Amino acid sequence: MSVAAAFVRSGRKIVAIGRNYADHVMELNNAMPKEPFFFLKPTTSYVPSGGRVEIPRGIVAHHEVELGLVIGKGGRDIKQADAEQHIAGYALAVDMTARNLQDQVKKKGLPWSAAKGFDTFTPIGSYIPKSSILDPHNLNLSLKINGAVKQDGPTSDMIFRIPRLLEHISSIMTLEEGDLILTGTPSGVGPVAPGDHVECSLTDAEGKELSALDFTA
Amino acid sequence: MSVAAAFVRSGRKIVAIGRNYADHVMELNNAMPKEPFFFLKPTTSYVPSGGRVEIPRGIVAHHEVELGLVIGKGGRDIKQADAEQHIAGYALAVDMTARNLQDQVKKKGLPWSAAKGFDTFTPIGSYIPKSSILDPHNLNLSLKINGAVKQDGPTSDMIFRIPRLLEHISSIMTLEEGDLILTGTPSGVGPVAPGDHVECSLTDAEGKELSALDFTA
Ligand SMILES: [Mg+2]
Ligand SMILES: [Mg+2]
Ligand SMILES: [Mg+2]
């Protein structure tokens, strides 16, 4: 298995884009970004599909279903025209977020690392080879809690598209094989309570399921 | 060579503590922390001693000389009494910081990841096995630019000591062998300009040099 296909075990970083869907930016009353921005999540936050997300005491943990990009060929200062060559595959992911803690640190100008980095805060689906996805900007992301749809949005709504994201991140830090890029979440984020069962789906334009991911809290 | 001794090549994360020396908290007009906080730096930011730190156009890059802890035995929810068993060794490090960018994101409540995460923003010295350091809270950190002393402070000034730092971080995220913890910087931080030669030293209570680290910008 390539390092990229084994990214959950072998990857060194997770780079997550914030505020990349306009509906989501508005639901949290955030400013619309003029350029992409990102934060890091530790790879210790991965939990495979079927696993359990631990919600620490006192934490309000929100789900954010996202399309993940798995880096194949590493690089620095990647040009938008070359971005596609650096992607080995995709994965369906949830960027779990300690929303109450994040709200506090945002007010104080402190880092987001703890609010985004708890163990089990990145539920992750199977590796999807690039050849299985015709157009990553023409997919649909959805998330249900206990059967009720909470998030349901098309990746065509991304404010900054994938080549722009790779260009931006790699202008700051080298990307390596096995790194995961989370590309932002559509609207509908909200709390996951202990005991909840969460099911996510990635479908193509025809409604065919490309990947599923579920977890219990 | 153990994973810990080869941490620069094999480590998966760098966890950096902010505001852990009172003099430094005051020099930046920051609030004194009531508990430790941290941010993540990508391992792609490492540059070995003798290397070159790249200062991106438009960035004011500050030096922060720090004592690094290299994790040996990984763990989660590490108790203060057990912390010492999880440390394999130490390393002298500089937490380079894009201060102008950090000031902007702090005002906007955005993540610190870019401001701390540029390639070459973590100059790193040789691995120091734990047996070479009698008391990590009784060392001295210093940094010179072009021969002029800019930072010079004792690790005894840490607000939160090493066992507390490991307890705090590992209550949020699992620590793994080869992870690096940066423990904060004493006062005297300031800009490094292109062409500057920076020399850092870690000495024990008797003034004996335990490690040196230098770079050119
Ligand atoms: Mg997100
Ligand atoms: Mg990392
Ligand atoms: Mg620092």
Q: Tell me, yes or no, whether B53 lies in a domain.
A: yes
The pLDDT value recorded for residue B31 is 86
Query: With contacts defined as CB-CB under 8 Å, which chain A residues touch B13?
Result: 12-13, 42-44
Q: Give, rounded to a whole angstrom, the gap between the first and last alpha carbons of chain B.
A: 30
CB atoms within 10 A of CB A129: 14
Q: Token pair of A153, please?
A: 């949005």
CATH number at A178 reads 3.90.850.10
Q: Tell me, yes or no, whether A138 lies in a domain.
A: yes
The pLDDT value recorded for residue A28 is 86
The pLDDT value recorded for residue B28 is 86
Instruction: Quick: pLDDT tens for B10-35.
Output: 999 999 999 999 998 888 888 888 99
CA distance B98 to chain A (A): 11
Smallest Cβ–Cβ distance between B37 and the set A31, A56, A111 belongs to: A111
The pLDDT value recorded for residue A1 is 79
pLDDT above 70 covers what percent of chain A?
100
Q: Tell me, yes or no, whether B106 lies in a domain.
A: yes
Q: Tell me, yes or no, whether A2 lies in a domain.
A: no
CA-to-CA distance for B107 and B147, rounded, in angstroms? 34
The pLDDT value recorded for residue A172 is 98
Instruction: Quick: pLDDT tens for B150-175.
Output: 999 999 999 999 999 999 999 999 99
Instruction: Quick: pLDDT tens for A136-153.
Output: 999 999 999 999 999 999
Instruction: Quick: pLDDT tens for A173-192.
Output: 999 999 999 999 999 999 99
Instruction: Quick: pLDDT tens for A6-64.
Output: 999 999 999 999 999 999 888 888 888 899 999 999 999 999 999 999 999 999 999 99
Q: Tell me, yes or no, whether B92 lies in a domain.
A: yes
Report the domain count for chain A. Answer: 1
The pLDDT value recorded for residue A196 is 98
CB A203 within 8 A of CB A136: no
Give chain B's length: 217
Q: Which of A5, A143, A13 is nearest to A67 (CA)?
A: A143
The pLDDT value recorded for residue B32 is 87
Q: Where are the beta strands (DSSP E) in B28-111?
A: 38-41, 46-48, 61-63, 65-71, 87-94, 97-98
The pLDDT value recorded for residue A31 is 86
Smallest Cβ–Cβ distance between B174 and the set A31, A109, A119 belongs to: A119
Nearest CA in chain A to B10: A12
The pLDDT value recorded for residue A19 is 94
Ligand number with the minimum distance to the CA of A12: 2
The pLDDT value recorded for residue B83 is 98
Residues 6+ apart with CB under 8 A from A206: none
Q: Token pair of A117, please?
A: 């980095």
Q: Tell me, yes or no, whether B80 lies in a domain.
A: yes
Interface of A with B (CB under 8 A): 12-13, 15, 18, 31, 37-45, 56, 76, 105-114, 117-119, 172-176
Q: Enter the ipTM.
A: 0.96
> To the nearest whole number, what is the mean pLDDT of chain B?
97
CA-to-CA distance for B20 and B35, rounded, in angstroms? 10
* Residue A50 domain boundaries: 7-216
Q: Tell me, yes or no, whether A184 lies in a domain.
A: yes
**Backbone region of residue B199 per phi and psi (left: phi > 0; alpha: psi in -120 to 50; beta: other values):** beta
**Which whole number is the average pLDDT over A97-117?**
97
Residue A75 DSSP class: B
The pLDDT value recorded for residue B170 is 98
Q: Tell me, yes or no, whether B1 lies in a domain.
A: no
CA-to-CA distance for B65 and B145, rounded, in angstroms? 12
Across the interface, whether the CB atoms of A172 and B40 are under 8 A apart is answered: no
Residues 6+ apart with CB under 8 A from A157: A21, A22, A23, A186
Helix H or strand E encompassing A107: helix A99-108
CA distance B137 to chain A (A): 25
Distance in Å, CA A44 to ligand 2 centroid: 9
